[in-house]
Amino acid sequence: MDVLDGQARLALHNILFATDFSASSDTALRYAVAIARRYDSHLHVSHVIRPDTYQLVPPEATTLVLTQARRYAEQEMGNLLISGRLRDIPHQVLLGEGELWPVLSGILSDHEIDLIVVGTHGRTGVRKLLLGSVAEEIFRLSRCPVLTVGPHVAGQVPEEAELRHVLYATDFTAASERAAAFAFSLAQEHQAHLTLMHAVGDTTSVSPHNAALMKEFFVKRLQELVPRGAELWCEPEFAVQFDKASHGILAVAAEKSVDLIVLGVRRTANFPGHLPPATAYEVVCQSLCPVLTVRG
């Protein structure tokens, strides 16, 4: 995905949809297809048969389990192709075997992927610690943007992707700077409303006067992020939340009924899980709309 001059139309020539054939992946596929139609993209549908599929079986049964896993994946891919859901969209099916990220990383390089679309089960607590989050592993390690569709996102998706309201949340760090360009470009492309927000954190011990000064300060910082000329195509709104970052982002998203949340993320190598969960993952798990993460 390229951003030209900060605000030009995004180029999504190749989209990678990573699936595990679950219900969450099915919803994510709807978004992948809608985006591919909107941007005339080539859609690469990928499934990775991972070692944890057969790591708990006896060595003598490994070959049989692996064969069954491969047969299941081929059958599910066949069902997808027969269903006609990819009709009129240039597409390619890719089945891989091995550790998730090395396989996907190879696909990104070989096919010059501009965007990854993935669904997530939204695992939390002990389940996340034990099983990890495939979605988080992908959006923490991917150099290209990742659209994650969480378990609370509705399955009804327009035939072509349409955005009416985009929410960009920033903590003003370098990791969030690159995401800003994508937020503005998407808002301009879709002629969508745009809200920029920052979550300050808990300020219960701060006086009302100082809280008002803090809000004024951060609104000004948000205004400085708006590129020159943006007022010609949008009237950006600004929000400052005095709450935990994930709670603040979700509150504004719900209040504005946004169609997309855009976040900057940092690369993190602590997998399979984090305790406590990182802000981006908390937002993805609870959001009612897809979340676009862009690694700084």
Domain ranges of the chain: 14-295
The DSSP 8-state label assigned to residue 202 in this structure reads -
Predicted confidence at residue 266, as pLDDT, reads 84
CA angle 80, 131, 280 (to 5 degrees): 85
Question: Could you read off the pLDDT of 95-106 as tens digits, one per residue?
Answer: 999 999 999 999
Question: Could you read off the pLDDT of 181-212 as tens digits, one per residue?
Answer: 999 999 988 889 999 999 998 777 788 888 89
Q: CB count, 10 Å around CB of 223?
A: 11
Q: In CATH terms, is domain 14-295 a member of 3.10.310.30? A: no
Percent residues over pLDDT 90 in the chain: 61
Question: Could you read off the pLDDT of 81-126 as tens digits, one per residue?
Answer: 999 999 999 999 999 999 999 999 999 999 999 999 999 986 654 3
Question: Could you read off the pLDDT of 2-38 as tens digits, one per residue?
Answer: 444 445 568 899 999 999 999 889 999 999 999 999 9
Confidence of residue 239 (pLDDT cuts 50, 70, 90): very high
Whether the Cβ atoms of residue 54 and residue 65 lie closer than 8 Å to each other: yes
**Beta strands across the sheet bearing 14-18:** 91-97, 42-49, 14-18, 115-119, 146-149, 291-295, 260-265, 165-169, 193-199, 237-241
Q: Measure the CA–CA gap between 20 and 40, rounded to whole angstroms.
A: 25
Q: Measure the CA–CA gap between 286 and 295, rounded to whole angstroms.
A: 20
Query: Does residue 280 surpass a pLDDT of 50?
Result: yes
- What is the pTM assigned to this prediction? 0.89
